[in-house]
C-alpha cells in the first residue's frame, strides 16, 4: 500500500481509502452490519488504514459501524475522516433533498453549518466513533445560509481543543476553498471524480496543485458503473439511489460498457479486475491524492486494496485517456 500526505500536513492516508457511505445502508438499499465491520477490518489488514464516513450515512449508523470496526486497533495507526454540515432533525439551513431513513421514514436533508451546530455534530461523531479525536474533519457541502468564516471558526476551535487534527472541505469550488483558507488551514477537498465525471480538472485540480492542497476523489468507480458489472437491464434493490441516477440510464450503461470493452484487455493482462484498473488510473491522475472506495464485504475490501499495487505505464495511461475522449454520458 502507498501512503500520501494531505497538503502540507503530516497526516498520511492510504491511497485507497475506505469509503463507508454504503456501510450506513442509507440510499444503498440497506446494509449488513457484520459484513461491513469485516470489510473495514480486512481493509485495514490490507494496508487501508484510512476510513471516510459521515453522520448522514445512515443517520449515525455508518459512524457507529466504523467505531465498532476499529475497536482493538491501535488508534494512531488509523486515520478517521468524517464530515459535518448535513442534518435531518430540523429545518435549519438550506433544504437539500427529500429522502427516507433506513426504517423507511420520510426525512428532509438540510445543509447547515452554523457554529453551534458544528460543535454539537463533532461531539456526536466522537461518541459514535468511540474516539477522542478526528483526523480530518470536512464540511460535507457548503451551507449558503451561514458565512464560511463562521463555519471555519468553529472548526478552528475544535482543532485548538484537540478534537480535530486537520480541516478539510468537500464539494467546494476553488473560490470557496480560498475563502475558507482565510480562517483555518485547509489541507484537502473531497470531490466527485471518475473517468466519466472529470469536471474538476478545469478549475479545482489546478487550484489544488498550485496551492498544495490534496484532492480526495469520491465515487471513482462511479458507484459501480465503471466496474463492468452493471449491464443493460440491471435491477437495483429497493432504496438504492442509483436507480434514479441519470448516469445509470440504459444509454449510459451501454456507452460505458463499450468503453470498458476497449480497456479490459489491460486488466486481463495484469490479472486484475476492471474496478481495480479504474482505481489505479484515478490515483495516477495529476492532482488526485486519494481514491475512496467502498466495500460491502471483506472480499471487495481486499480487491480494492490490491488496486494500489498495479503498475500503469505512461503509454497505458495515454491509451485509456484516448478512449475516454469518445465517452460522453447523456
Catalytic residues: 57
All three cell numbers of 329, joined, read 454520458
Please report the beta strands in 146-221, taking only residues with DSSP state E, as ranges in sequence order. Answer: 164-170, 186-192, 214-218
156 grid coordinates: 478552528
Q: Is the distance from CB of 158 to CB of 127 less than 8 angstroms?
A: no
| Residue 258 neighbours by CB under 8 Å, 6+ apart | none
User: Could you tell me the sign of the dihedral formed by the alpha carbons of 226, 300, 307, 273, in that order?
Assistant: negative
φ and ψ of 324, to 5 deg:
-65, -25
Which cell is 52 given?
471516510
Q: What share of the chain is helix, strand, coil (3-state, %, to 5)?
A: 45, 20, 35
Tell me the DSSP string of 189-206. EEEE-BTTB-GGGTTHHH
CA nearest 256: which of 269, 244, 247?
Answer: 247
| CA quadruple 149, 176, 112, 59: dihedral, nearest 10 | -120
Place of cell 421514514: 105
Angle subtended at Cα 145 by Cα 134 and Cα 220, rounded to the nearest 5 degrees: 50
Name the nearest CA neighbour of 223 among 161, 280, 292: 292
Q: What region does 38 belong to: left with phi over 0, alpha with psi -120 to 50, or beta?
A: alpha
Amino acid at each position: 500500500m502507498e501512503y500520501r500526505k494531505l497538503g502540507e500536513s503530516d497526516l498520511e492516508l492510504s491511497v485507497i481509502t475506505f469509503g463507508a457511505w454504503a456501510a450506513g445502508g442509507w440510499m444503498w438499499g440497506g446494509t449488513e452490519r457484520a459484513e461491513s465491520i469485516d470489510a473495514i477490518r480486512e481493509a485495514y489488514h490490507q494496508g487501508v488504514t484510512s476510513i471516510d464516513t459521515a453522520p448522514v450515512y445512515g443517520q449515525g449508523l455508518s459512524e457507529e459501524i466504523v467505531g465498532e470496526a476499529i475497536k482493538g486497533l491501535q488508534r494512531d495507526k488509523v486515520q478517521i475522516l468524517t464530515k459535518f454540515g448535513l442534518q435531518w432533525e430540523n429545518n435549519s439551513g438550506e433544504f437539500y433533498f427529500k429522502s427516507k431513513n433506513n426504517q423507511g421514514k420520510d426525512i428532509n436533508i438540510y445543509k447547515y453549518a452554523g457554529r453551534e451546530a458544528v460543535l454539537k455534530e463533532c461531539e456526536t461523531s466522537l461518541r459514535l466513533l468511540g474516539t477522542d479525536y478526528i483526523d480530518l474533519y470536512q464540511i460535507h457541502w457548503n451551507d449558503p445560509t451561514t458565512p464560511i468564516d463562521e463555519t471555519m471558526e468553529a472548526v478552528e476551535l475544535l482543532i485548538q481543543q484537540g478534537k480535530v487534527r486537520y480541516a478539510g472541505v468537500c464539494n467546494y469550488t476553488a473560490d470557496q476553498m480560498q475563502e475558507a483558507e482565510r480562517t483555518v488551514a485547509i489541507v484537502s477537498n473531497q470531490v466527485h471524480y471518475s473517468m466519466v465525471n472529470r469536471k474538476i480538472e478545469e478549475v479545482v485540480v489546478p487550484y489544488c496543485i498550485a496551492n498544495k492542497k490534496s484532492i480526495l476523489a469520491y465515487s471513482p468507480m462511479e458507484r459501480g458503473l465503471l466496474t463492468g458489472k452493471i449491464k443493460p437491464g440491471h435491477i437495483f434493490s429497493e432504496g438504492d439511489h442509483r436507480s434514479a441516477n441519470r448516469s445509470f440510464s440504459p444509454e449510459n450503461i451501454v456507452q460505458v460498457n463499450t468503453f470498458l470493452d476497449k480497456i479490459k484487455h489491460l486488466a486481463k493482462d495484469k490479472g486484475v479486475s476492471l474496478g481495480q484498473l479504474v482505481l489505479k488510473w484515478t490515483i495516477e491522475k495529476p492532482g488526485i491524492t486519494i481514491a475512496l472506495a467502498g466495500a460491502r464485504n471483506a472480499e471487495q475490501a481486499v480487491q480494492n486494496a490490491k488496486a494500489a499495487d498495479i503498475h500503469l505505464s505512461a503509454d497505458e495511461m495515454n491509451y485509456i485517456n484516448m478512449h475516454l475522449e469518445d465517452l460522453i454520458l447523456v
